Structure 1
Amino acid sequence: MDYPINNIFSKKRSKYSGSFFLIGFSTHDQTFQIGIIKERKIVRIGSFKKGLKQNEKEILTKTVVDNQNGKENEIIMVDPSICVEIAFQSVENEQLINPIFKSFLLQQDWEQCTWDRLILNNVPIDNEIKITHPEKIIWNDPSVNKENFLAYLAQISPFILPFLEKRLLTTIRYPKGITGESFFQKNCPDYAPKFIKTVENDGIKYIICNDLSTLIWLGNQLAIEFHIPFQTVDSNYPIEIVFDLDPPCKEAFPLAIKAAKEMRKIFDSFNLISYPKLSGSKGLQIHIPIKRNTLTYNETRLFTSFIADYLVEKFPDDFTIERLKKNRGGRLYLDYVQHGEGKTIICPYSTRGKELPTVATPLYWDEITDQLKFENYIIPMVLNRLSSGNCPMNDYFEQENPSLYDIINALKENKNKF
């Protein structure tokens, strides 16, 4: 799952193209400097001179000289206004590689030349997808519109799709943005395009999100949250165990940190490989991958209940397994019951329908400290975090945790004694 998301154009080919605006002309090498809007800032993304006819070059040069607003070294600067379409091979270090002029975009507003739109216009998605209302605001502060959100999905697709693959998908949609009404969607709507794959289960036609086109189509429907079961469609056995550490309020997040640290001690002592992640809300979740088709939900329940009971017994003032909120008394709820057939969990890298554009972000264990703040893990931060291509869960599906079977067998034997 390693993939450098800040370089989605890393595969060199000749068919990338996009719209950019002119920001200057270099008298040194006779190139036209171009920019794009990224994270609400104008950034220089390259320069071009190939592809221009002589008369086009002369007209463009005169336009820049006549409308210049200053000079930086040997570059005559100009305010953004002229938009051009440029073909290129790739982007390296945020600079276009082998840019070639294709045409002027006289009817385009320069503010429409954004990095997110560049991504969406170049990712390989099905032709049936028509992105609607890209300007629609989803989150207000920081402001995230639909175009920003879809570009986020495109960039994190290599990380999220392995978790969505072959799983019955439940989404939460926010058609009018986070401040509007929301609803759960399990059934695939009748208007879904033909490429959308579905599987019927208990009379419900679930969407199976195996590919980028499906992910972007769902995003365009403003499916903000992606919830997945613990098993794939071809098995009744879980492929992972997940503990949900649910504090009573966001101010009690330190309780989730404490619970996670205590769990790590236990899992390490059992030689179990585990992966923490922020829920994207007010808690943490701990994932434990297991070998496919080996353990039933009844067997994993022996383990999850054992861990939860142990922690509650050790820290009765901090943790509880009481399902009724009114009876928890400010303690963190160790939700092991949620791990069961027919239940779901928020998918790693899914956004959440909260006030902030928070993300269910996988973490490294050494990041679980008292300084951890879930509010910091929002869309822009997560994209920047993954810019190197490193994901804490990059080897998740390679793990089988064989020691878990000995633990569960021991729990079975102990249970049979009573």
Structure 2
Amino acid sequence: MTEQSYGSYKVELSHTDKVFFPDACITKGELLEYYERIAGIMLPHIRQRPLTLNRFPDGIGKDGFFQQSRGDYFPDWLDAVDVDHGGSTGQVTHMLANHQAGLVYLVNQGTVTFHSWLSRTDHLKAPDQVIFDLDPPGDDFEPVRQAAYLVANGMRQCGLTPYVKTTGSRGLHIVAPLKPEADFERVRSLARKLAQALANAYPEQLTTEQRKQKRRGRLYLDIMRNAFGQTAVAPYSVRAKPHAPIATPLEWDELADHKLGPQRFTLANIFRRMGQRDDPWQDMHSKAASISTFEEGVSELEEGDL
């Protein structure tokens, strides 16, 4: 066990030689090194957002688990927020990763993947993002690429500024920043209306049908993450899959590459890419749209054509 300093905090790093990704012989130490290096770019996207951790203390070759609540043994300096979920869930103390030390500490606990809320602690019930989750209806990624352009165009017609990232798993996330002025129910209702307008305009390609047997090979426009307490994989988070793929924000021109796939960027090549391009999402908050703009845009789409 070694002790590492991160600013005014100290983190004890343990079992750094343990293999976390057996297929690629990637160790826990290499995973820690990645999160140390990416922290400056990743943290602005997740700071003050409640987290759900996907932990694999013995690597992805063994069983993992999800964790929402802060561990009793976590250090006092690790930030957290108490959230009342109501109902049978009640109050949960959610973890936050607001600085490099917190991020590294959670990785040292075996966290491979970080999932974050669409809202922050100062406006927990008002999301500052709206998200479409696009997964392929089959094995071909091309329908996802095409759907991404259609969703982005629909967002732009609603006065939103769309951003895209690979999920590191099967598909893409299309995200638009919002001013935190409305609750989740209102935002999800608008996302649902936009999704329906897109499905109506492109009935052979897109659907809002949740039941798989009724999709008939069309891509499902999933807007269900736009709800209180729901999460999305955090930008630059590693996924618990072979070769350690990374959820990577993209420039829109990168989507034109037909070789692009949801697991294109990995621990092995992410910093080569980051050396060639700045973070495409770094200024997204400056493009946040008001809820009134979103509502007016959706109303116009419902009355007209995409």
Within 5 A, what are the aligned runs for 1:14-413?
123-124=6-7, 126-127=9-10, 129-202=11-84, 203-235=91-123, 236-249=125-138, 251-292=139-180, 294-369=181-256, 370-387=258-275, 390-402=278-290, 405-409=292-296, 411=298
| CA gap 1:125/1:353 in 2 versus in 1, 3 angstroms | farther
Q: Greater relative contact order: 1 or 2 (C-alpha under 8 angstroms, separation 6 or more)?
A: 2
Secondary structure of 1:204's counterpart equals strand
Query: Cα offset for 1:123?
Result: 4.9
Q: Distance in 2 between matches of 1:298 and 1:414?
A: 20
Q: Distance in 2 between matches of 1:376 and 1:285?
A: 14
Q: Distance in 2 between matches of 1:266 and 1:376?
A: 26
Amino acid aligned to 2:227: G
Aligned residues: 293
| CA gap 1:406/1:154 in 2 versus in 1, 3 angstroms | same
2:18–2:28 Cα contact (<8 Å) kept: yes
Q: Distance in 2 between matches of 1:343 and 1:226?
A: 13
Amino acid aligned to 2:34: Y
Which protein has the larger Cα radius of gyration, Structure 1 or Structure 2?
1
Unmatched tracts of structure 1, length 5 or more? 1-116
Secondary structure of 1:335's counterpart equals coil
1:297–1:340 Cα contact (<8 Å) kept: yes
Q: Distance in 2 between matches of 1:271 and 1:187?
A: 36
| CA gap 1:288/1:121 in 2 versus in 1, 3 angstroms | same
Query: Cα offset for 1:414?
Result: 9.6
Q: Distance in 1 between matches of 2:57 and 2:208?
A: 35
Describe the superposition over 1:22-79 as per-residue Cα deviations: whole angstroms up to 9, x where unpaired: xxxxxxxxxxxxxxxxxxxxxxxxxxxxxxxxxxxxxxxxxxxxxxxxxxxxxxxxxx
Q: Distance in 2 between matches of 1:360 and 1:375?
A: 8
Q: Distance in 1 between matches of 2:246 and 2:187?
A: 27
Deviates more, 1:321-330 or 1:132-141: 321-330
| CA gap 1:399/1:207 in 2 versus in 1, 3 angstroms | same
1:157–1:212 Cα contact (<8 Å) kept: yes
Query: Cα offset for 1:267?
Result: 3.0
Query: Cα offset for 1:342?
Result: 1.6
Secondary structure of 2:221's counterpart equals strand
Query: Cα offset for 1:411?
Result: 4.6
Q: Distance in 1 between matches of 2:297 and 2:143?
A: 30
Amino acid aligned to 1:257: R
Query: Cα offset for 1:343?
Result: 1.1
1:277–1:286 Cα contact (<8 Å) kept: yes
Query: Cα offset for 1:328?
Result: 3.1
Q: What is the root-mean-square deviation in Å for CA atoms of aligned residues?
A: 2.3
Describe the superposition over 1:107-154 as per-residue Cα deviations: whole angstroms up to 9, x where unpaired: xxxxxxxxxx9xx95754622x21111111111233211111011101
Deviates more, 1:232-241 or 1:268-277: 268-277
Unmatched tracts of structure 2, length 5 or more? 85-90
1:320–1:332 Cα contact (<8 Å) kept: yes
Secondary structure of 2:173's counterpart equals strand
Describe the superposition over 1:269-312 as per-residue Cα deviations: whole angstroms up to 9, x where unpaired: 444321100111110001101123x2232332243112211222
Q: Distance in 2 between matches of 1:414 and 1:323?
A: 22
Tell me the TM-score normalised to structure 1 length. 0.65
Q: Distance in 1 between matches of 2:41 and 2:218?
A: 33
Secondary structure of 1:228's counterpart equals strand
Instruction: Please state which structure has a larger fraction of its residues in strand.
Output: 1
Tell me the TM-score normalised to structure 2 length. 0.88
2:197–2:301 Cα contact (<8 Å) kept: no
1:300–1:408 Cα contact (<8 Å) kept: no
1:302–1:408 Cα contact (<8 Å) kept: no
Q: Distance in 1 between matches of 2:79 and 2:37?
A: 22
Secondary structure of 2:268's counterpart equals helix
